[in-house]
Chain A
């Protein structure tokens, strides 16, 4: 972890008065550790420390939602949490959605329904959508627009994003049916 120690630090002179802290967390199912300054943001630990650059930093002012990740299953803005707060917790980033062989149904939905143009907001949109569909597997259009209202898109006008989430809801629902009872909401949505 000694190289990581360098990577995750802000590029300013060290100050011995502020002790570095060891954090251990689970990222996309893998145990990870890093030594971080308390002021390091979770988004920067993910991007610069763990090189998981799918988590985007857009506005950096808690407005846009591009940096959304799931923190113990709950969607949060990772630019508005400190990395030390993730110690002992689970984080899911966009890199954790697909399996080695298959896209997550939400990713398939964004592909099929053309739910992105520049793609900058897409990782955050998909993780917010994942949290939504786990809580509400059959959302209405209004519910999707409401739950994604913390994620800004400047390209699409949202229309196809809503369609993509509906597509994913249908696919996840169909998968759950073919899997038989009890498997609804299973993460491994692609496996029939």
Chain B
């Protein structure tokens, strides 16, 4: 299968890339990992007139913590970089839990977190993870840089509020208000498949209680779901079973699943609640072990 014809540009700086996007008048797409974009181009769901390949731009492949605990993931940081990072497991447990279950090992060597978030596939794992962490995307355009909360970035299936001449250069997770804990669970029909249901739960624990909580849902609605009511049910609690149970029920209510070949809507709701309970139990266990 061949994509439609396109012009190919390979800039060596972000500024060059922005200029190319601006000149393309809305007809260009950024190529980072390409593991979603290229399949869509081959199926001709996407037919950009220009591809701006950012793989030659240096210095975008990082993932690192600032001194204050803010975590930054560059636009060319691959899923496999996150999966194999020992430092990440302690600093970002939700990201560390999700990295190994994104697609399959071969896709993970190319695909990027920032690209996945900007692709805004309702079944994409990273957007829910970032929503649970109150993460943001930094976008650079002709007028400068701006930060967009991932929860506000995605405004529909495969749709974002990024302007055609903006490029997402990094994902940013704010510094935690306490000790981080969290997890990501994904139900898939077989290894490497898109999520039937994915649930990201992230909490920050300070003085024995939850200072902040976030819950993001994958694959159970027309876009990534920010289950903010469910997360609010965890805030201020000691993450006891009744709080987790309340959050699980509210998360299931926040889901908007459709019955399809992957399962019935009722089943998917049930899985959402079950996954919230399981991640809650995991966190409780690890907190007890640490105590």
Binds A, one of B100-108, B160-168, B173-181, B282-290: B100-108
1/0 per residue, CB under 8 A from B, across A35-71: the answer is 0011111000000000000000000111101001000
Q: Given A80-B34, A80-B35, A85-B53, A10 and B109 touching (CB < 8 A)? A: no
- Residue B265 at the chain A interface, CB threshold 8 Å: no
Cβ contact within 8 Å between B110 and A61 = no
| Chain B residues in 8 Å Cβ range of A37 | 5
Cβ contact within 8 Å between A75 and B42 = no
Q: Tell me which of A15, A39, A41, A65 has the highest count of chain B C-beta atoms within 10 A of its own C-beta.
A: A39
Identify the B interface with A (CB < 8 A).
1-8, 10, 31, 34-35, 38-39, 41-43, 51, 53, 55, 103-107, 109-110, 191-192
A interface bracket (residues with beta carbon within 8 Å of B): 35 or more
> Which B residue sits closest to A12, measured CB to CB?
B2
- Residue A77 at the chain B interface, CB threshold 8 Å: yes
Binds B, one of A100-108, A111-119, A144-152, A166-174: A144-152
B97 shortest CB reach to chain A, Å? 15
> Which B residue sits closest to A74, measured CB to CB?
B109
Cβ contact within 8 Å between B7 and A18 = yes
Cβ contact within 8 Å between A80 and B192 = no
Please tell me which one of the listed residues B39, B51, B104, B109 contacts residue A61 in the complex, with CB atoms under 8 A apart.
Answer: B39
> Which A residue sits closest to B38, measured CB to CB?
A80
- Residue A81 at the chain B interface, CB threshold 8 Å: yes
4 additional A-B pairs beyond A12-B2, A150-B103, A151-B106, beta carbons within 8 Å, are A38-B6, A60-B42, A84-B10, A146-B105
> Which B residue sits closest to A148, measured CB to CB?
B105
> Which B residue sits closest to A44, measured CB to CB?
B2
Q: Given A10-B2, A38-B51, A39-B6, A149 and B192 touching (CB < 8 A)? A: yes
- Residue A76 at the chain B interface, CB threshold 8 Å: yes
- Residue A157 at the chain B interface, CB threshold 8 Å: no
| Chain A residues in 8 Å Cβ range of B107 | 62, 77, 80, 150
Cβ contact within 8 Å between B38 and A68 = no
> Which A residue sits closest to B84, measured CB to CB?
A135
Please tell me which one of the listed residues B2, B8, B42 contacts residue A84 in the complex, with CB atoms under 8 A apart.
Answer: B8
- Residue A94 at the chain B interface, CB threshold 8 Å: no
| Chain B residues in 8 Å Cβ range of A15 | 5
Cβ contact within 8 Å between A18 and B5 = yes
A–B Cβ pairs within 8 angstroms, 9 of them: A12-B2, A17-B7, A19-B7, A39-B4, A65-B106, A75-B106, A80-B39, A128-B105, A150-B192
